[in-house]
Structure 1
Amino acid sequence: MLAELDAGFAERTAVLADGARVAYRSGGRQGPLVVLLHGISSGAASWLPCASLLAAQARVLAWDAPGYGASAALAQPAPRASDYAARLAGLLEALALRPDVIVGHSLGALMAAAFVAQARPALLPSRLLLLSPAQGYGAPGQQEQAAQVSAQRLQALAQLGVEGLAERGPQRLLSAAADAGARDWVRWNMRRLNVDGYRQAVAMLCGDAIEPYLQRRAAGVDARVACGGADVVTTPAASEALAQRLGLPFGLVPDAGHVCYIEQPQALARMLRGLLPAAAAPGAAVSH
């Protein structure tokens, strides 16, 4: 996996107009551009199994979110999803790219929702997939639950450290049927967590909510929701309920837990191929 990561999904770095540094990985040489946003316990490299399967049909770009990997953290101690979305816009501007499809997994779904609510038209995708979306705890009336989730996550970090979180990660993030390779890949990616970036992400999870962003998403962005059939983190019932409230299509990734794109990359790649535009220019450039 690590040899394949270096060969076909190598890490690159962009310096944005404001001086911030963002690390990302890219694969594929032609076709529509798919942008992949990881969740709270992961990073850009985690997308390798799925990205490799898409490389023949699409270009793929996966970032390390602010505070993850070699990406600079945000200035705000308790950022909002809109702050992450602004950094994503800065990355796309720096690379002069417009995505055809954005996939946001878990907390990345909250970032993706904020992006389609606020990005300028020249950066907007035609399709948005919210994959096992974290809905956030920042809605009115959720203050007590938000405080509990924040305390639980930060206490676990303090007690277990990054290594301890990584060791227990596969049990919660994958189904019981996941193979050893998927479990090892989850652990490897979790071991790369940065403590300060993780704390910022916890603050965003507990202080923001996905629905207001999706309600304000730009016209013309075709959004849909999917979830692993055995997901115990953002459950199929919760994900489908979100889709129903917003009138969005919903689908399941069978035989997969929360990190369904690691556990069932073939199924996820098939789903994404179905979202690719039939005749998109390869990585269409941004209009300035």
Structure 2
Amino acid sequence: MEQKQPQTSPEPDRGLLDALDSGFAQRVAQVDGERVAYRCGGAAGPVVVLLHGISSGAASWLPCASLLAAHARVIAWDAPGYGDSSPLAQARPLAADYAWRLEGLLQTLGVQPALVVGHSLGALMAAAYAASARQLPERLLLLSVAQGYGAAGKEAQASAVASQRLEALAALGVEGLAERGPARLLSEAADAGAQAWVRWNMRRLNPDGYRQAVAMLCGDDIDAYLARRPPRLPTQIACGGLDVVTTPPACAALAERFGLPFSLIPDAGHACYIDQAAATARLIRSALPAGH
């Protein structure tokens, strides 16, 4: 299908890109013979691991991670098939496959997280990690949770979501998806800088990695993982108050099903950690275990 060629919007502020290189630079680890790209910020303190969603990457966390750097050592990965990270071998991976790669990365780096934060599809990965990791984080924070469509009875919805996303990719290409991204991922009040940052990160999507992630979104279910998480692992859920993707009622219902604390991030759309970076950073700091 011929792809439309949208006009290119302005790039992010040069200072933001300079900060990405100086304070949140990319590194690459070898995990079971596969590349895993990640970014680090902060030099000391508890380890906070940040997992991005389906339309983003490690770099997208910069505004939020910069606010955490004085309090924690922050590690944000590029999930398999994103950035310079090798894709998974499976054409239709499950969240558990991403979680296995994440555990391999953390073992390679020799760190045990105080807190794992998963946003959107990253929340599904984080839940899978918590369900099976040999070295558990001390706490889990799930933001604007993508719950998946793999449960019994959701087959029609899964098929519709997969078709919608893959047809949009075929028609618009990565550049087209990036141009329309801010309207869906941010609140209407988001400033031009936040919009530019969403587009810049979306332009770096790998189509094949995105297709794998769509398959995981439509073929897996977060309830199965949360049901298996250790009871001793404190877990909380939060959502942007203006999120139209993973809506507050949907996230609140998930929290209620599992008896988990739930909170809203005021004035934030789906990409809450970009839309309201300071408020999201405060929430992450408050989720750190006592004594950190």
Whether TM-score is above 0.5 comes out as: yes
Per-residue deviation, residues 213-264 of structure 1 (Å, max 9, x unmatched): 0010023211110000000000000000000011000000000100000010
Listed as ranges, the matches of 1:125-274 within 5 Å are: 125-274=137-286
Per-residue deviation, residues 77-116 of structure 1 (Å, max 9, x unmatched): 0000000000000000111110000000000000000000
Distance 2:272 2:161 in 1: 23
Distance 1:207 1:216 in 2: 18
Distance 2:231 2:25 in 1: 34
Deviates more, 1:85-94 or 1:219-228: 219-228
Structure 1: 5+ residue stretches without partners: 281-288
Distance 1:275 1:203 in 2: 31
Q: Which 4+ stretches in 1 moved above 4 angstroms?
A: none
Distance 2:215 2:280 in 1: 29
Which secondary structure state, in structure 2, belongs to the residue aligned with residue 258 of structure 1? coil
Alignment correspondent of 2:41: 27
Whether 1:65 aligns to 2:79 is yes
Cα distance, 1:275 vs structure 2: 1.4
Which secondary structure state, in structure 1, belongs to the residue aligned with residue 195 of structure 2? helix
Structure 2: 5+ residue stretches without partners: 1-15
Cα distance, 1:136 vs structure 2: 0.2
Alignment correspondent of 2:24: 9
Count of aligned pairs between the two proteins: 277
Q: Which of residues 69, 80, 104 in structure 2 aligns to 1:55? A: 69
Distance 2:287 2:271 in 1: 20
Alignment correspondent of 1:108: 122
Distance 1:279 1:32 in 2: 10
Listed as ranges, the matches of 1:72-111 within 5 Å are: 72-111=86-125
1:126–1:220 CA contact under 8 A, matched in 2: no
- Report the TM-score when normalising by structure 2: 0.94
Distance 1:211 1:219 in 2: 14
Distance 2:210 2:130 in 1: 23
Deviates more, 1:18-27 or 1:213-222: 213-222
- Report the TM-score when normalising by structure 1: 0.95
